[in-house]
C-alpha cells in the first residue's frame, strides 16, 4: 500500500472512539471473513466481546478511549478478559483485543499476565494478544486482498485520490513482482507523433475518439500523474513493467481498442470492489501512457528507427 494512503488510514482509525471504534473492528472482520465467518455480538449482551471469528474460535474485543490512561487501560483489558474467561474461553481458545493507538512495551507485556491468569484457572487458551494501531495496519496490508483493502478505505472515508493512486501502484507492483528483468534500457522521453500512432492502431471511426481521449488525459494532467507514480520505481522495475504489460497485451485477442478495453476491465476486476469512473479513467490512463511510450501498439516509423 502507498505510504500516503497508509498514513491517512492510520490517522482515521486512531480518531475513532468508543462504539465507533468497535464498529470499525467489527466491519474489518466482516470484510475479511464475511457474515458466514464472523459473528458480531453487539446485537445481544456482548459480555466483553465485539465478535467471534467462527473458523478459528477467536473472540474479538475492542477498546477505543479518547486518550491513554494506564489505569483505565488495565481496568478495561482485565474486565474484558475476565468476561472472556468466564463466558467464552471454554469453546473459544483465542482472544484478540484491539486498541486504537500505538502500544507501549508495558502494554504488550500485559498479555503475559493474562496468559498466566488463564493457566491458574486451568483454562486451555492458545492465542491471547493485544493489538494496537500498528498491528491493525499490518493486518489490513498483509492479510486483506486488494478488493478488501478498497472496502476498508471506503468505510474509513479516505480521500479518493489517495485510493486511486494506490490502485495504480497495486497494478504496477503486481505486474513487476516475480517477472524477469531484461537489460534493455527504457527511454520514456521518446517524442512520439501520437496522432500518427493512433491512426496506425485504431480504425478510422475510432481514431477521433482516441485522439480526444488522449488530449483529455494530457490536458487534465492525468498522464503526468501516472508518470510521477512510475518515476518512483527503479529502472529495472520499470523495465519489468514494460515487458509484463507488453506480454499481457499481446496475449489478448481482438483489435487494439478491444485489447485496451479488456485489459482495463481485467485490472478493475482484480484491484477494485466495483466499477468506478475515476478508477477506470486512471487505469485506462496507465495503458494509454504505455501506448504513448512505445510499450504497446503498432510503432510509427520514428519509433522503429529509435529501436534500432
At residue 183 the predicted structure's pLDDT band, cuts being 50, 70 and 90, is very low
Question: To the nearest 10°, the Cα dihedral for 55, 170, 8, 11?
Answer: 20
28 in Cβ contact with 138 (< 8 Å): no
Q: Are 98 and 25 in contact (CB under 8 A)?
A: yes
How far is residue 271 from each of residues 167, 180, 303, measured CA to CA in Å?
Answer: 7, 23, 32
d(CA 252, CA 258): 9
pLDDT of the residue at 140: 96
Distance (Å, rounded) from C-alpha 268 to C-alpha 147? 10
Task: Kindly give, in sequence order, each residue whose CB lies less than 8 Å from that of residue 169, ignoring residues fewer than 6 positions away.
Answer: 1, 2, 229
* Domains of the chain, each with CATH number or no CATH: 3-156 (3.40.91), 160-306 (no CATH)
- Using a pLDDT cut of 70, give the percent of the chain over it: 90
pLDDT category of residue 191 using cuts at 50, 70 and 90:
low
Residue 43 pLDDT exceeds 60: no
Q: Quote the pLDDT of residue 137.
A: 96
- With bands split at pLDDT 50, 70 and 90, how would you rate the model's confidence at 303? low
> Other C-beta atoms within 10 Å of 187: how many?
10
pLDDT at position 106 is 79
Task: Bin 39: left if φ > 0, else alpha if -120 < ψ < 50, else beta.
Answer: beta
| pLDDT at residue 304, rounded to an integer | 67
Integer Cα distance of 130 and 104 in angstroms = 11
Say if residue 180's pLDDT is above 70: no
Convert the pLDDT of each residue in 193-219 to its tens digit.
888 889 999 999 999 999 999 999 989
pLDDT of residue 185: 37
Statement: the pTM of the whole predicted model exceeds 0.85: no
What span, in angstroms and rounded, lies between the C-alpha atoms of 221 and 217? 6
Which stretch, 80-89, 104-113, 237-246, 297-306, has highest mean pLDDT?
Answer: 80-89
Residue 237 CA: distances (Å) to CA of 31, 163, 176, 306: 32, 22, 6, 22
d(CA 231, CA 165): 13
The closest of 252, 214, 227 to 172, measured between CA atoms, is 227
Q: What is the pLDDT of residues 115-172, one digit of tens each?
A: 889 888 888 888 999 999 999 999 999 999 988 998 999 999 999 899 899 989 988 9
Residue bearing cell 492465542 = 127
- pLDDT for residue 307: 58
Q: Residue 258 in contact with residue 249, Cβ under 8 Å?
A: no
Amino acid at each position: 500500500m502507498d505510504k500516503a494512503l497508509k498514513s491517512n488510514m492510520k490517522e482515521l482509525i486512531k480518531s475513532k472512539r468508543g462504539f465507533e471504534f468497535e464498529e470499525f473492528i467489527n466491519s474489518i472482520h466482516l470484510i475479511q471473513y464475511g457474515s458466514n465467518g464472523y459473528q458480531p455480538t453487539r446485537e445481544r449482551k456482548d459480555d466483553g466481546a465485539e465478535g467471534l471469528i467462527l473458523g478459528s474460535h477467536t473472540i474479538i474485543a475492542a477498546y477505543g478511549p479518547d486518550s491513554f490512561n494506564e489505569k483505565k487501560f488495565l481496568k478495561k483489558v482485565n474486565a474484558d478478559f475476565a468476561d472472556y474467561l468466564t463466558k467464552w474461553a471454554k469453546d473459544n481458545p483465542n482472544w484478540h483485543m484491539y486498541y486504537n493507538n500505538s502500544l507501549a512495551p508495558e502494554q504488550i507485556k500485559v498479555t503475559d499476565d493474562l496468559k498466566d491468569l488463564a493457566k491458574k484457572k486451568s483454562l486451555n487458551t492458545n492465542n491471547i494478544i493485544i493489538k494496537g494501531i500498528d498491528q491493525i495496519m499490518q493486518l489490513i496490508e498483509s492479510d486483506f486482498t486488494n478488493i478488501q483493502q478498497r472496502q476498508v478505505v471506503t468505510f474509513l472515508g479516505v480521500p479518493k485520490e489517495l485510493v486511486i493512486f494506490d490502485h495504480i501502484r497495486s497494478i504496477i507492483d503486481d505486474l513487476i513482482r516475480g517477472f524477469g528483468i531484461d537489460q534493455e534500457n527504457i527511454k520514456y522521453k521518446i517524442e512520439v507523433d501520437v496522432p500518427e500512432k493512433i491512426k496506425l492502431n485504431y480504425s478510422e471511426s475510432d481514431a477521433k475518439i482516441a485522439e480526444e481521449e488522449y488530449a483529455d488525459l494530457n490536458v487534465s494532467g492525468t498522464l503526468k500523474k501516472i508518470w510521477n507514480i512510475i518515476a518512483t520505481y527503479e529502472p529495472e522495475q520499470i523495465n519489468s513493467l514494460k515487458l509484463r504489460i507488453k506480454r499481457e497485451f499481446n496475449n489478448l485477442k481482438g483489435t487494439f481498442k478491444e485489447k485496451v478495453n479488456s485489459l482495463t476491465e481485467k485490472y478493475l476486476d482484480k484491484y477494485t470492489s466495483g466499477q468506478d469512473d475515476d478508477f477506470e479513467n486512471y487505469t485506462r490512463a496507465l495503458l494509454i501512457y504505455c501506448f504513448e511510450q512505445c510499450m504497446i501498439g503498432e510503432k510509427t516509423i520514428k519509433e522503429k528507427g529509435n529501436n534500432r
